Structure formats: structure tokens, C-alpha cells
Structure 1
């Protein structure tokens, strides 16, 4: 399948295979299914690429564990980054297997970024790549912990190399690849260095100035892929600018929602978030004094930790922080819908898909 292979179609039972034939009504009906199908296609393209590269690159002793770790991470991914980039492509071009492969390469950048974060800040209870590699090494090497950590660093670097190769070898002509290459490089830097910003903000005492910075941590992962896909498709600068504005608003809304969902865990671990920073922003003098007396990290003993959490919950309730965050999310999602509204020529499929992603955040 490539950009020149187009076939219209629209029946009562089956969605059309290409953008040709997608009306707004069709898109509203079939876009949720399309999102799932495209995620599966991106995952298959990635797994096929990694399998081929593993045969070429992973020949050193113990290298098979790297292959297994990448395959496992890809299999669990929701393919959000590549989907956003492909929607940027669809803003101007029809469906294309080569474009799907080029945008799927961004998932390897996201994976490299996640691996870097894992080395210093595990946000979930998942075993993680480093733990899996350490377990694998216990009966094989003298210092399995050192091997696990070092192999994880190697894997992150390898994902960056593979991402570039997959992008360059996707099959798109140089006339499309060349203008998008600077954005690809910028996105790679943003995703990698973004982890440094995330780590920097994660352990600070709350302050008013941090609220906006915290919210913007979600921007590169959404606005960057959208702009990359649009540039790859060769769309007009004005369309790229609006799509970036849409991505900024959607990325901020996603960050705010993610921090709300993760609030109980962040309170337990004493981690800074947009929610905590917003509470500080709206606290009165007495609450500011109380916040200033709280430690950055809750005390180890369970009883004191629970007291620490109760104090923060009282502050969050007093400042009506959750309601304020919900209002911020609604405002940013309204901006997403406004941006889509000022793009009258945006095809029905990417328009409907972006509306769905915004609705899911809401």
C-alpha cells in the first residue's frame, strides 16, 4: 500500500479503506475502529523492523535479552506517538504504508525516552526493562545488577539508532523526508531531554512558577508528532502552525489529566506534579505556610506518611484544586476543537480522530 494506491468505498457495514470516501458522518462512525486498526498496523511494522535489525545487530553474548525487551515494550505500547504523527500526515496526504512506517519510527524515540526515565524514576509497578534484564543475568554473569543497568542504557541508545534507520528507510521519497528531518531531530532531542526536565521538576518544593512549566511537559509528546507528520506530508505552513497549536493544547490537557489520575501515587511518593503546583498557586498565606512546612518526600514510617497525605488532601480540597484542573483541561480541549474548526480543508478522518482523542481526555 502506498500513497498512489487509493480506492474509494463506503458501505453500511464496512469503513472505507482510504481517506477517499470518508465523509464526516463516516469518520464519526468509524474513526474509533480506525484508531485501533492503525495502532495494530504500526505495532506490526515496528515488530517486523525490530526483528530484522535484531538479526543484524544483536549478535553479542546476552544480546537476545535486548531483543526480547524491545519486543515486550512495543507489544504493550498504545502507539499514541505514531498515531498522532500519522494523523498529521493524513492532514494532506492519503493513507500510505511508507508513511505509516516513517511515523512508527517515532515509537522507538518514545521507547528510548521511557527507558531513560526508568533508570531513575519508576512511575508504575511494572517490572521494567532494567529489572527484567537483571533477572535474566542472575544466573549468567557475576554482577547482574550492573549488567541490568548498563544493558538498559545500551538498549536506550540502540532504540535511538533504530528510530533513525526506520525513518530513513521507510520508503518515502527524499523530497518528503528531507523537509521533515529537522523536525525528527528536534523531536528526538525534545523527548530525550524532556526526561531531564521531568526529573528536575519531580522532586522540587511546589511554587507558583512551576505550574506552567509542569503543564508544558506534556507538549512535545503530542505537538511534536503532529507537526512531524504534517511536515512529512508537505502541508502548508499555516496548517502546520494550527496543528501545532492543536497539539500544544492537547498535550497540556493530557498532562493535566495524567497528573490527576496519578495524584494518589504522587502523594505517596512526594512527587511534584501539575496538581500539586496548582494547589500552591491558589493557596492563601496560611496554606502556603503549611505547605512550606511539609517535606518534599513523605517520611518513611507508614503512620507519618498517611498523616502527610491527609495534610495534602486537605490543602487540595481547600484550594479546590481538582475543580480548577478540570476547568484547565476543559479550556485546553476547547482550544483543540477551535483549532480543528479553523481548518476547513482538514480531511474528515484526521479531524474525527483528533476529536476522539480530545474526548477521551475529557
Structure 2
């Protein structure tokens, strides 16, 4: 490690950098280049399978290369740098490739999530299952178009999950360090799938306590967005248990704040910025902390509205406005904003004491805003 013990003043974030933290050392561009090179190789493999694979290659190129914040590779890379990783030529490029494999895991999770939620759009474009449903219709193929789209999305999501392991294992990182990081990479994938099941279970059960909703976001999003990428990066540089614990103290509260912000945007966000229709989370019936708090605090009329309207796929703009009013009037929105503030402050305090390099600490401070304000 190259840092000294943090002073009390270090608990305050440094002045904002003109360069976005995810663009430091050209990281986002390097991640995009690594994804492009990986997809070029996979395109050759898919082409050998047959001409019918062309729409698969095109869809995955679009999904992987057009949009995406690159948060998870960013946290993995700076977890590596914070642990003393030196970005000098081949070693740095290998670390970037290993970090980039997390973007394939993210793609798998999003493709499957959109399918399970029956979402129509992702980043302002048709979700993968809708894209292949439209292809089926435009081609006048036999059978059920919706079923074809669902099957295609399931397989493309599985393909991305397989590719994430392939890219990580073939990143070129020193084999000893790669072997040390692999168990953390594996448990991250297990946790996100288990968290996704908890999310589906909560919807089937009609929601529950705030604590149950927080457990869902902890495993479905918080851990695999920030904590585990930091852990993987640390292990790739030889970091030990003390560093992993420090990264958890920073990453877990920040990851939860990240998802709470996402939940707020899912109800109150601008579709031009979120890429999804206004109130889409309400139509899908996502049992978020926001809704759990509203349900706990609602009166009889508000409870009736929540029961009738949440999860209604035909929910119109008027219904969205009614539900927004319930969430605001019960104080659920204000409470979630307070939770975001408290979790963010906890992450900042933990980062101040983390035994990591000063440069990584400065970037991770910047990523606090990227994760919770979402100006990326």
C-alpha cells in the first residue's frame, strides 16, 4: 500500500475533478475497446455456427457497446489500483480486460431482468426480447413471436454470462492472482442470481417489510455493483482480508444508496434520462424500499390505491401520478432520500480510513457522486 493513515480532514471529499472518475486514465474508452475486441472474436465464432447468428451478434454488439455507465469495471479497476496495482502496459491492459468481464455479467443480468419484468425498453431502445419478437414478426416466421423473443433473450443472457467467465479467465492476469480472485468472482455471480430470485419472490408475495426489500437490493444490486467488483480488483493485485473489509465498509452502503437512487428514478425519473417510460417500475410491480415504506405508512384509501395500481401493466399516466402522490404524502420519498444521504455519508467515512492509494481514494470519492446522483 502507498497511503498513510487518513486524517479527519480526509473524511471530506476532494474538490470535483474536471474529468469524470470513470474516464480517469481513459478507463471507459479502454473498457469499450476491450469489449469491441472481445465481440470481434466472438463474432467469428458465431459466424462459423451459421448465417442465422447474424442478428444475435448485432444485438449483442448494440447492447454491449451502445450505452452503459461502466460502473462495475470502474470499481473493479480502481479496487485493483487501490490495492497497489500498477497500470504499466501489459499488466494494466490485463487488469482492464478482467474488469471489463463484469460488463458482460451486467449485460446478462439486464437482459434476463427485462425479460422477467416484461419491460419494453432498455436505454431508450427495445429490450432484447422485444427486439427478437419484432424480428420474428418482420420475418413472418412460424409460431409465437413473443415466445421466440423470450427464448432468444434467455439464450443471449446465458451467452453473456458464459462470456463473462471466458473473458475473466482469459484476461491475461498473472495466473496466481487470477486464481485468488476467481472465488470472489464466482460468489458475486451467485449472489446476483440469488438476489434476482428474491426480487421475483417479493413480487409474487406482494411485498413485505422494509428490511426484506433492503435484503433484495443488497444482493440483487449493491454487492455486485460495488462491493464485489472492489473485492475482485483487490484480489487481482494481491490484496488481503483487511483491504477487503475496508472495501466492504465503503462499497456496501454505497451500493445500497445506488439502488435506492435507482428506485427513486424508476418512479420519478425523466424518461429522457432513464431510457424507460415514466413509472415503469410501478407497472412491473417492483417491491422496492420506496413502496414498502409507503405501504407501512399508508391510510385506508392510500392502501387501496397501492393494492389496485401497483403491478398493473396497463397503468396510465394518471395512475402513475396517483401513486407518486401516495409515495410523497406518506413520507416514503423523503425517508428514502434520507437513507441515501446517511448511506452515502457512511461510505465516505469508511473510504477516508481505507488503506488504499491516494489516487484510488480520490477516484472512489468521485464515484460516490456518480453512483448516487447519477450524472454520468
Greater Rg over alpha carbons, structure? 1
**Paired residue for 1:142?**
142
Distance 1:177 1:347 in 2: 21
Please state if 1:108 is matched with 2:104: yes
Higher RCO (CA 8 Å, separation ≥ 6 residues): 2
Please state if 1:212 is matched with 2:214: yes
**Paired residue for 1:188?**
189
**Paired residue for 1:94?**
86
Cα root mean square deviation, aligned: 2.9
Please state if 1:118 is matched with 2:114: yes
Please state if 1:353 is matched with 2:352: no
Flag the 1:348–1:140 CA change in 2: closer, same or farther, 3 A: farther
**Paired residue for 1:21?**
none
Moved beyond 6 Å, runs of 4+: 24-27, 299-302
**Paired residue for 1:168?**
169
Distance 1:124 1:130 in 2: 8
Structure 1 residues 1-362: aligned runs within 5 Å: 28=17, 30=19, 32=21, 34-35=23-24, 37-58=26-47, 59-75=49-65, 76-92=67-83, 93-95=85-87, 96-123=92-119, 125=121, 126-138=125-137, 139=139, 141-143=141-143, 144-202=145-203, 204-209=205-210, 210-216=212-218, 217-220=220-223, 221-264=225-268, 265=279, 266-281=281-296, 283=297, 287=299, 290-291=302-303, 294-295=306-307, 297-298=309-310, 309=320, 311-343=322-354, 345-360=355-370, 361-362=372-373
Flag the 1:154–1:176 CA change in 2: closer, same or farther, 3 A: same
State the 1:147 CA deviation. Answer: 3.2
SS at match of 2:255: helix
**Paired residues, number:** 334
The TM-score with structure 1 as length reference comes to 0.82
State the 1:293 CA deviation. Answer: 6.8
State the 1:26 CA deviation. Answer: 10
Distance 2:325 2:44 in 1: 56
**Does the 8 A contact of 2:31 with 2:73 survive in 1?**
yes
